[in-house]
Amino acid sequence: MTSLWPRIEPLLAKVQKPARYIGCEEGSVSPEHAPHKAAWLLIYPDSYEVGLPNQGLQILYELLNERADAVAERSYAPWSDMERQLRSRGLPLFSVDTHRAAGDFDLLAFNLSAELVFTNLLNCVDLAGVPVRSAERAPEHPLVVAGGHCTFNPEPLADFVDLFVIGDGEEVIAEITEIVADWKRGGRTAGSRERVLRALAAVPGVYVPSMYDVEYDGARLVSVTPKHADVPSRVEKRTIADLGA
């Protein structure tokens, strides 16, 4: 993985607020990536000014970077002026910590705080160079994850998100990390994507749409049936009982 900074820096004079893309904030880190570490890109699908104060993302950022088997960086939805610059030059969405391409990460994890950012999620996935529909992704593509209170109604994004975290994420990210790190060490071989998604579906609080058969009557949802016996029929939300811990 290499930094895109030499190609991004010349664009900063062409956009309204270049500080959105520089990083280097107090408290940020420059994590060391490694083959045995699950690499998370925590994405707030709104502008930098809106996403930076989000405490949920900051907590997950700290927890993941404290682990020996994970690294976490941050990204935000680029403003329209920067998006035009990136697309015209064939540059992808990138992290603000080390300016790595989003496609180099193992997980693209979105915080969904409002339904109005759903289209921003799709745009960020496309800008990352990842197929927008989950069914079209291969083992070399990152897993697209979504959490936040808007995921309590996940179906509008079920065709585009690989897994949803329902409820609090502070504990479940550790379980997801262990599964994804093991998948990464195994080489993310052909056919392994479905296997890792099936393993993730068994984690309490994780909903993996591809592991269910969904039936509709027009716009009305009729049934959601697990495809495998080890996939839960009901996904219970994760709750942190002791916030102090």
Give a yes or no: residue 240 inside a domain.
no
Residue 52 confidence (pLDDT) = 93
- Contact criterion met (CB below 8 Å) for 98 and 142: no
- Res. 1 pLDDT band, cuts 50 70 90: low
Residue 39 confidence (pLDDT) = 98
| Nearest alpha-carbon partner for 123 in 168, 176, 77 | 77
Q: Is it the case that residue 245 has pLDDT exceeding 80?
A: no
pLDDT digits (tens, 9 = 90+) for 67-93: 999 999 999 999 999 999 999 999 999
Residue 212 confidence (pLDDT) = 96
pLDDT digits (tens, 9 = 90+) for 192-227: 999 999 999 999 999 999 999 999 999 888 999 999
Give a yes or no: residue 23 inside a domain.
no
d(CA 197, CA 187): 15
Give a yes or no: residue 49 inside a domain.
yes
Radius of gyration of the chain (CA): 18
Q: Can you say how many angstroms the Cα of residue 59 is from the centroid of all Cα atoms in its chain?
A: 15
d(CA 86, CA 238): 37
* Unique residue bearing structure tokens 């180099």: 104
Instruction: Find the CATH number of the domain harbouring 44.
Output: 3.40.50.2300
* Sign of CA pseudo-dihedral 11, 15, 17, 20: negative
Give a yes or no: residue 144 inside a domain.
yes
d(CA 92, CA 122): 14
Average the pLDDT over 40-60 and give the result. Answer: 95
- Res. 242 pLDDT band, cuts 50 70 90: confident
Give a yes or no: residue 162 inside a domain.
yes
Residue 244 confidence (pLDDT) = 78
Give a yes or no: residue 173 inside a domain.
yes
Average the pLDDT over 138-147 and give the result. Answer: 97
* Rounded alpha-carbon distances, angstroms, from residue 189 to 36, 184, 185, 238: 15, 9, 10, 30
Model-wide pTM > 0.85: yes
Give a yes or no: residue 123 inside a domain.
yes
Sort 30 into a burial class: Cβ within 10 Å, 0-12 / 13-18 / 19+. Answer: exposed
Q: Is it the case that residue 139 has pLDDT exceeding 80?
A: yes
- Contact criterion met (CB below 8 Å) for 154 and 118: no
Q: What percentage of the chain exceeds 90 in pLDDT?
A: 90
- Contact criterion met (CB below 8 Å) for 146 and 164: yes
- Res. 119 pLDDT band, cuts 50 70 90: very high
Question: Mean of the per-residue pLDDT values for the chain?
Answer: 95
Q: Is it the case that residue 181 has pLDDT exceeding 70?
A: yes
| Nearest alpha-carbon partner for 162 in 201, 129, 126 | 201
Residue 66 confidence (pLDDT) = 95
Strand-strand pairing, 212-217 and 206-207: unpaired
- Contact criterion met (CB below 8 Å) for 79 and 17: yes
Q: What is the extent of the structural domain holding 216?
A: 5-14+32-226
Give a yes or no: residue 237 inside a domain.
no
Average the pLDDT over 20-29 and give the result. Answer: 89
d(CA 224, CA 201): 14
Domain count, the chain: 1
